[in-house]
Amino acid sequence: MAEYDDHPAYPVGLRLNGRRVVVVGGGQVAQRRLPALIAAGADITLVSPSATASVEAMADTGEIRWERRRYQDGDLTDTWYALVASSDAEANDAASAEAERTRTWCVRSDDAEAATAWTPATGRSEGITVAVLTTTSQGRDPRHSAAVRDAIVEGLRDGTLAAPHHRTRAPGVALVGGGPGDPDLITVRGRRLLAEADVVIADRLGPRDLLDELPPHVEVIDAAKIPYGRYMAQEAINQALIDHAKAGKAVVRLKGGDPFVFGRGMEEAQALAAEGIACTVVPGISSSISVPGAAGIPVTHRGVAHEFTVVSGHVAPDDPRSLVDWAALAQLRGTLVLLMAVDKIGSIARALIDHGKSPDTPVALVQEGTTAAQRRVDATLATVGERAAAEDVRPPAVIVIGEVVAVGPEPSGHSAE
Ligand SMILES: C[S@@+](CC[C@H](N)C(=O)[O-])C[C@H]1O[C@@H](n2cnc3c(N)ncnc32)[C@H](O)[C@@H]1O
């Protein structure tokens, strides 16, 4: 073992694209480190008699070359960087000695003091790599480094760590899917863009609690589209997006769920494109899957449903404006997920029964899913119209029709298919 050295490590970023890297040992350490080496473009050779299933999969897909044997002298020839992490102490010592002799920077998972390089705790956020090292081997505390890394990356991602970009930001609009309502269910990218916005145009649905966190200078515009009530016309929303973007503002259009699932997101993207305004789309967690899930209903389940179909129920089946083929939907065995269907559920259920769906098919209505006010009402296709009225179910609600409604956390004994 080398003598204790209290000089600080010198941080550097290695550009490994196309350069030979040797990993000795195919266990958990290799499994954790290999993805970043692969992402760096390194030409990786693994030398190890065995490997974990994940490491083996990397070899199977050709991301690494695997020499299925013990380390032998000469393995580090022409190598730029070595990671020595096997459970074979003798092999580790020999590889480390070869690295020293050949001037190859070498990380050792079993002996930080003997290593010539250390792996920092790393994380990434929007073009920045954060790498945290404790200063000397004596003070090495990998958990503390990882915690510092997490705090920095988290802060950069959600915008709570003030690190303004010094490049001039191109004005434009981000169409952000906010998820179903729980503020924790927006994506990290969505949350960061929200924190950087000058103007936020928000829907009634989605994570409205996040709007309270915005600094006072941010202009929040309510684009509430309450069904059959007051609404701001889509043209007015489009115009507001265009006007604010043209004024050089960073605009976030915050939508419930995913922008492209009954969200009119593409209409807004088209209006912006027509004006030559840059538009970024940030997908969101759609209520069509997450709201049933939050109420304990999987939209698919092995042996029960091999498909799910998401349908808008905002117009009745006999309405000439309807684009939905209810007769075809009645023939499907899988799950039907209805959005915007509370008002019309009675006539929709009748249409499905008339077209052959069993009146006993289980149905669940999940109102205000993922929020503190979430509630679930169960029924069958025959009773759902009455139950929805008797229980005063109101929008927003997702209605799930199909056998998955009856699948709970208890093992069901359904056959594997
Ligand atoms: C105009 S659509 C927008 C859907 C949204 N883009 C998405 O991907 O979830 C509105 C409908 O979504 C459903 N919805 C959205 N959020 C919901 C929630 N938290 N709980 C229940 N239903 C919700 C309701 O069916 C509501 O009428």
How many A from CA of 228 to the centre of ligand 1? 15
For the annotated catalytic residues, the residue numbers are: 203, 225
Q: Specify the residue with its C-alpha closest to ligand 1, atom 5.
A: 257
Buried b (16+ CB within 10 A) or exposed e, 25-49: bbbebbbebbeebbebebbbbbbbe
Pocket residue to mutate for ligand 1, from 205, 338, 393, most atoms within 8 A of Cβ: 205
Q: What is the CATH number of the domain that holds 207?
A: 3.40.1010.10
pLDDT of residue 349: 98
d(CA 2, CA 112): 10
User: End of a domain among 285, 311, 326?
Assistant: 285
Q: Rounded to the nearest whole angstrom, what is the distance from the C-alpha of residue 339 to the centroid of ligand 1? A: 6
pLDDT by residue for the chain (417 residues), tens only, comes to 446 677 888 999 999 999 999 999 999 999 999 999 999 999 999 999 999 999 999 999 999 999 999 999 999 999 999 999 999 999 999 999 999 999 999 999 998 889 999 999 988 887 788 999 887 666 667 788 889 998 988 887 777 777 766 555 567 999 999 999 999 999 999 998 998 899 999 988 878 888 888 888 899 988 865 343 445 578 888 998 999 999 999 999 999 999 999 999 999 999 999 999 999 999 999 999 999 999 999 999 999 999 999 999 999 999 999 999 999 999 999 999 999 999 999 999 999 999 999 999 999 999 999 999 999 999 999 999 999 999 999 999 999 999 999 998 876 544 444
In a domain, 302, yes or no: yes
Residues in Cβ contact with 319 at an 8 Å cutoff, skipping those fewer than 6 apart: none
Q: Ligand 1 centre from 80 Cα, in Å? A: 53
Measured from the Cα of 259, ligand 1's closest atom is 6
| d(C-alpha 171, C-alpha 199), whole Å | 11
pTM over 0.75: yes
277 and 195 inside one domain: yes
Q: Do 208 and 271 sit in the same domain of this protein?
A: yes
Single-letter residue type at 143:
R
Query: What pLDDT shows up at residue 170?
Result: 61
CATH number assigned to the domain comprising residue 397: 3.30.950.10
Instruction: State the pLDDT at residue 416.
Output: 42
The residue to mutate among 232, 285, 287, having the most atoms of ligand 1 within 8 angstroms of its beta carbon, is: 287
Return the ∠ at Cα 299 (arms to 294 and 301), rounded to 5°. 115
What domain range is 133 assigned to?
124-159
Mark whether 9 and 55 lie in a shared domain: yes
Q: Which of 308, 312, 291, 309 is nearest to 375 (CA)?
A: 291
Same domain, 106 and 206: no
Q: Domain check: are 68 and 149 in the same one? A: no
Total structural domains in the chain? 4
The binding-site residues of ligand 1, defined as CB within 6 angstroms of any ligand atom, are 180-181, 205, 255-258, 261-263, 286-288, 291, 339-340, 366, 368-371, 395-398
Pick the closest to residue 317 from 342, 339, 345 (CA basis): 345
In sign, the C-alpha dihedral spanning 398, 403, 406, 410 is negative
Q: How far is the CA of 256 from the centre of ligand 1 (A)?
A: 7
In this structure, what DSSP letter does residue 184 have? Answer: G
Same domain flag for 146 and 255: no
